[in-house]
Amino acid sequence: MDWEKYWSDKSDDRRGDPTPDGIAREGREKLLHLGSGGRLLDVGCGTGKLLSHYTANFPECIGVERSPTMLAEAQTKLRDTNIALLHGSAENVWEIVHGDFDAITMGSVAQYLAAHEIAAFVMQASKHLKPGGRIAIFDIIHSRKAVLRMMGLGRHKEAPSGFEIVTRSGVVFARWAAWPLIAKGRTFHPDGRMYAPEFFAAIAKENGMKINMPMSMSSDLFFAGAAQIAHQVRQRALSALEIATLFLDRIDANRHLNAYITVNRDLVLREAESLSQRVQRGEDPGPLAGVPVAVKDLMSVRGYPLTA
């Protein structure tokens, strides 16, 4: 697929949660990995929604975007800021930016690059880093979860019906089976190519860099592990109240599945808010603070019915 042509008239960042609260939450999470410093370069900045949050930790931010329509929207949105916006891409970014950076980030871009292009980007980016600087490649499609995304199971709060799951599974299988015969190896899905975590680990090792590959909490929160959620709470990237609200909303949206017998929403939110306040005061919340826990109906809990 010709990605240059595909993105030429696009104006949607395709964020997992496009609401202001969702963007703010995603921005906080990404800043947790980016750290702080003087200069930041964002390659594939889209409409600039996240760039506006990065300025909290980086006084000088430069955004590079290949889509003219997205760049124009970013220029309109950020015209009253000191953020520099340039028309370019991961392939030619080093021809249009100069100097070294404390952080270089690329979000929702890697899947539209070939393997050798990603390797070349990381190699060149490493040469433009200040001592102690970071390269952060965000929003990579995990090759082991790609089929779930194609079936629409990774982005929707409301679970599809059994019939829809079977239908989507058939469509995905047909795509996988037929595409190599008709497209000569070109990627077929708007989400782009898929790379295993080991691919990025190999690039990091080749360039003498340490690598950390956390799961995205803003888009994959419901699939995250307990340790990941607890870390985000302790680092204040997400609050216990935000996490509790998201999980409770997901439960409410899927009541037809009868997965939960009793849900005490008010109590959960009160306790989550209290925990959030303790974290804000700098108190140690404990190793698993903020992690949602469901108690199986086989276990007796005071004040709750036991129906098993």
- On whether residue 303 sits in a domain, the answer given is no
Output 308 or 88, whichever has higher pLDDT: 88
Higher pLDDT, 122 or 199: 122
Where is mean pLDDT largest: 3-7, 193-197, 299-303? 299-303
Residue 125 and residue 105 in contact, taking contact as beta carbons nearer than 8 Å:
no
59-90 pLDDT tens trace: 999 999 999 999 999 999 998 888 999 999 99
Structural domain range at position 56: 3-140+195-218
pLDDT of residue 182: 47
Does residue 10 belong to any structural domain of this protein? Answer: yes
- 99 shares its domain with 177: no
Q: What is the pLDDT of residue 157?
A: 45
Q: Tell which wins on pLDDT, 146 or 170.
A: 170
Residues 66 and 121 in one domain: yes
Answer yes or no: do 85 and 209 share one domain: yes
Residue scoring higher pLDDT (72 or 8): 72
The answer to whether residue 74 sits within a structural domain is yes
Q: Quote the percentage of the chain above a pLDDT of 90.
A: 32
Q: What is the value of pTM for the model shown?
A: 0.66
212 lies in a domain?
A: yes
Reported confidence tier of residue 184, pLDDT bands at 50, 70, 90: very low
- Asked whether residue 189 is domain-assigned, the answer is no
**Edge-to-edge order in the sheet of strand 60-65:** 84-87, 60-65, 39-43, 101-107, 129-138
Q: Is residue 117 a part of any domain in this protein?
A: yes
The average pLDDT across 111-130 equals 91
Q: Average per-residue pLDDT in the chain?
A: 81
Residues 29 and 94 grouped into a single domain: yes
- Total domain count for the chain? 3
| Residue 107's CATH number | 3.40.50.150
Same domain, 80 and 206: yes
CB atoms inside a 10 Å sphere around CB 168: 17
Please indicate, yes or no, whether residues 213 and 79 belong to a single structural domain of this protein.
yes
Domain membership of residue 151 (yes or no) is yes
Q: Is the pLDDT of residue 215 over 70?
A: no
Q: Are residues 249 and 200 in the same domain?
A: no
Q: Do 169 and 278 lie in a common domain?
A: no
Q: What is the pLDDT of residues 229-240, one digit of tens each?
A: 888 788 887 889
State the pLDDT at residue 271: 93
Q: Is 305 contained in some domain?
A: no
Do 122 and 82 lie in a common domain? Answer: yes
Q: How far is C-alpha 21 from the geometric centre of its chain's CA atoms?
A: 14
Residues 127 and 169 grouped into a single domain: no
> For residues 272 and 277, what is the distance between their CA atoms, to the nearest angstrom?
9
Residues 83 and 206 in one domain: yes
Higher pLDDT, 1 or 228: 228
The answer on 231 and 178 residing in a single domain is no
Nearest one of 274, 252, 273, 271 to 263, comparing CA atoms? 252
CA distance 251 to 239: 19
Could you read off the pLDDT of 236-292 as tens digits, one per residue?
A: 878 899 889 888 988 888 888 888 888 999 999 999 999 999 998 989 888 999 999
Does 41 score more than 90 pLDDT? yes
